[in-house]
């Protein structure tokens, strides 16, 4: 097939050539083609938006794997839209999708491009993602103090919820890691451990205050409280985390095992009169979750 | 579906997946097993599942547990209590914590890929071997899968196998029973192949 001559096309589109009858028709054809293409791009953008919302719905219903697949699909769709017609809105959606896929660096880049195309709020998000990426790099290189400081800044001053949540998670992990690694003589160690735990607790409690319906924060709280041997409170927080939803299956399962651990510890320590009421309360949850026994979650097989 | 049919299906499926890996690879059975378990659980994105494997091993999830949680994990399972009786008796938290890092995702969180990868050791109750080989075996398995990812047909092939499996009505079986039958059949297949 003969390749179309692009110079001819260019000539035909020149304003001076638009006055002729045939050229008028061609202009109309080009006009409608443009409208059609714009329509295609907008409908693809709309489809990507719909898929993004669907992915969010799946995530809220704790169907994490399906949500991940939907986010991946959305990212592919939105990348195709961008390659045809880049826009601030498209880059913003791409960035949001990438955050959900934990592609932090890519998200930062998308938000920057969104900001340069007029999406003002994306600039601040890109800055927060950049700081978070920096903190992760420092952490990977063993610069714990610097990364802790950066996570702390994001936890206190951050506005972009996914970054704030991830920073709180990293901060708690770093604090608990310090606790586990502690190898000082017993008495001095206990004092220092209590201090670290009090700090971690304060940090997560503040996060819960700001976002009480975030299951992940309640999960973190349950972890810290278990270190303090406050199994009653830890159990309550883990139950709340389960009811509010958690970001992944492994955290979900770990949280179930945390519930069972607290239950077993309380069974050993409660007085008989308290134990009856506690068992009744606990069993109502077990029934609701359809667990085969008090210490066997529905997914457990061995 | 009769046991014979399952055997034939798994033999064919193993044949398909095996083609993607070098001869004698320890990876394809765990991958096939996980693909079928995930299919039954309606997890469509197998690639995300496998790449998500590292999340199950995020050190912070398992490394930062309180000592009491770790002791309870070992004491709550008779086989683990027996294997680590000395450490438990002497309260050697440091070595128990190290063992916990490998055993908690396998025995506690029951990640299907890891369970299949170490199925032989689990069956024999050789938990010390899992601990000793956990990092190297897992790294090897993930590297092999990564190398295979270049062959774009792997994930669609696994997805097809999962869908065919579902269309045969296996999703109606209780998950523990299904896992047991899959495991038995896949291991049988593997033995037959070795003998041949």
A253 touches chain B (CB under 8 A): yes
Residues in a beta bridge with A293: A296
What's the pLDDT score for residue B40? 66
Question: Does residue A223 sit at the B interface (CB-CB below 8 Å)?
Answer: yes
A94 inside 8 A of chain B by CB: no
Q: Pick the residue from chain A with its C-alpha nearest to B55.
A: A250
Out of A276-280, B29-33, B94-98, pick the least confident.
Answer: B29-33
pLDDT attached to residue A11 = 36
CATH 1.25.40 positions along chain A are 41-119
Looking at residue A18, its pLDDT comes to: 37
CB atoms near residue A45 (< 10 Å): 20
Of B66, B109, B110, the CB nearest to A227: B66
pLDDT number for residue B154? 77
> Under an 8 A CB cutoff, do B109 and A257 touch?
yes
Q: In whole angstroms, what is the distance from residue A71 CA to residue B122 CA?
A: 36
User: How far off is chain B from A265, nearest CA to CA, in Å?
Assistant: 9
Q: What is the pLDDT of residue A79?
A: 92
Phi, psi of A293 (to 5 degrees): -140, 175
Q: How confident is the model at residue B196 (pLDDT cuts 50, 70, 90)?
A: low
Q: What is the DSSP letter of A2?
A: P
- Give the pLDDT score at A285: 95
Test the A interface: residue of B60, B97, B180 with most A CBs within 10 Å: B60
Size of interface A-B (CB pairs under 8 A): 72
B10-25: pLDDT as tens digits = 778 877 777 777 766 7
Q: Hey, is the C-beta of B175 within 8 angstroms of any chain A C-beta?
A: yes
**Which chain A residue has the Cα nearest residue B50?**
A65
Say which of A179, A254, A302 has its CB closest to residue B61: A254
Taking 80 as the threshold, does the pLDDT of residue B57 lie above it? no
CATH 1.25.40 fits A41-119, yes or no: yes
In this prediction, residue B116 carries a pLDDT of: 81
* pLDDT in the model for residue A261: 97
User: Using one digit for the tens of pLDDT, what is the confidence trace for B110-162?
Assistant: 887 888 888 889 989 999 999 999 989 888 887 777 776 666 677 778 778 87
Contact A69 B72 (CB under 8 A): no
Kindly list the residues from chain A whose CB atom is less than 8 angstroms away from the CB atom of residue B108: 253-254, 257
Mean pLDDT of B71-87: 95
Q: Does A226 touch chain B if contact means CB atoms closer than 8 Å?
A: yes
Choosing among A260, A261, A290, which should be mutated to test the B contact, i.e. which has the most B CBs within 10 A?
A261
Give the pLDDT mean for B57-86: 86
- Model pLDDT for residues A58-109, shown as the tens digit of each residue: 877 766 667 777 888 889 899 999 999 899 999 999 999 988 887 888 888 9
Q: How far is A300 from chain B (nearest CA, A)?
A: 7
**Binding-face residues of B in 10-39 toward A, CB within 8 A:** 38
> What's the CA gap between A150 and A171, in Å, rounded?
10
| Separation of alpha carbons A100 and A247, rounded Å | 10
CA nearest A301 in B: which residue? B176
Q: What are phi and psi of A174, to 5 degrees?
A: -65, -40
Residues (pLDDT < 50) of chain A are 1-20
Chain A neighbors of B109, CB-CB under 8 A: 250, 253-254, 257
DSSP-based three-state secondary structure for A293: strand
Q: Is A294 on the interface with B (CB under 8 A)?
A: no
Choice between A11 and B82, residue whose per-residue pLDDT is larger? B82
Q: Where are the alpha helices (DSSP H) in chain A?
A: 6-12, 21-60, 64-84, 88-100, 104-116, 120-140, 144-157, 161-181, 186-210, 215-227, 231-244, 249-269, 272-289
Sequence-distant (6+) residues with CB within 8 A of A256 are A242, A297, A299
């Amino acid at each position: 097939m003969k390749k179309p001559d692009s110079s001819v096309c260019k000539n035909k589109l020149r304003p001076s050539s638009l006055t002729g009858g045939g050229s008028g028709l061609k202009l109309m054809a080009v006009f409608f083609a443009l409208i059609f293409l714009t329509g295609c791009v907008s409908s693809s953008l709309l489809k990507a938006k719909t898929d993004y919302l669907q992915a969010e719905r799946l995530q809220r219903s704790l169907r994490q794997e399906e949500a991940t697949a939907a986010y991946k699909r959305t990212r592919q769709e939105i990348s195709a839209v961008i390659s045809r017609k880049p826009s601030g809105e498209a880059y913003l959606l791409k960035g949001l999708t990438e955050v959900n896929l934990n592609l932090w660096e890519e998200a930062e880049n998308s938000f920057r491009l969104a900001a340069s195309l007029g999406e003002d709020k994306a600039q601040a998000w890109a800055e927060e993602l950049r700081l978070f990426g920096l903190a992760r790099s420092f952490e990977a290189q063993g610069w714990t103090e610097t990364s802790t400081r950066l996570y702390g800044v994001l936890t206190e001053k951050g506005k972009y919820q996914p970054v704030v949540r991830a920073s709180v998670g990293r901060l708690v992990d770093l604090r608990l890691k310090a606790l586990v690694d502690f190898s000082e003589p017993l008495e001095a160690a206990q004092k220092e451990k209590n201090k670290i735990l009090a700090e971690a607790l304060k940090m997560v409690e503040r996060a819960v205050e700001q976002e009480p319906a975030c299951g992940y924060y309640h999960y973190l709280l349950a972890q810290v409280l278990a270190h303090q041997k406050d199994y009653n409170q830890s159990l309550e927080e883990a139950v709340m985390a389960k009811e509010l939803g958690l970001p992944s299956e492994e955290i979900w399962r770990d949280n179930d095992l945390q519930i069972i651990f607290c239950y077993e510890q309380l069974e050993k320590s409660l007085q008989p009169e308290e134990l009856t009421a506690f068992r009744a309360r606990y069993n109502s949850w077990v029934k609701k979750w359809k667990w085969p026994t008090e210490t066997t979650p529905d997914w457990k097989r061995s | 579906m009769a046991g014979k049919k399952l055997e034939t299906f798994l033999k064919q499926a193993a044949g398909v997946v095996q083609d993607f890996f070098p001869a004698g690879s320890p990876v394809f059975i765990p991958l096939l097993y996980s693909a079928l378990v995930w299919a039954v659980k309606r997890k469509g994105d197998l690639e995300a599942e496998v790449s998500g494997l590292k999340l199950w091993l995020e050190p912070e999830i398992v490394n930062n547990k309180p000592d009491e949680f770790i002791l309870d994990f070992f004491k709550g399972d008779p086989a683990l209590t027996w294997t680590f009786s000395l450490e438990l008796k002497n309260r050697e938290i440091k070595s128990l914590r190290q063992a916990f890092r490998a055993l908690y995702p396998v025995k506690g969180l029951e990640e299907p890929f890891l369970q299949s990868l170490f199925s032989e050791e689990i069956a024999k109750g050789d938990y010390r071997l899992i601990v000793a080989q956990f990092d190297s075996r897992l790294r090897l398995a993930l590297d092999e899968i990564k190398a295979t990812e270049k062959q774009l047909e792997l994930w669609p092939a696994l997805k097809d196998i999962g869908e065919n499996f579902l269309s045969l009505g296996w999703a109606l079986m209780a998950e523990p029973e299904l896992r047991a039958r899959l495991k038995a059949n896949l291991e049988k297949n593997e033995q037959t192949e070795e003998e041949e």
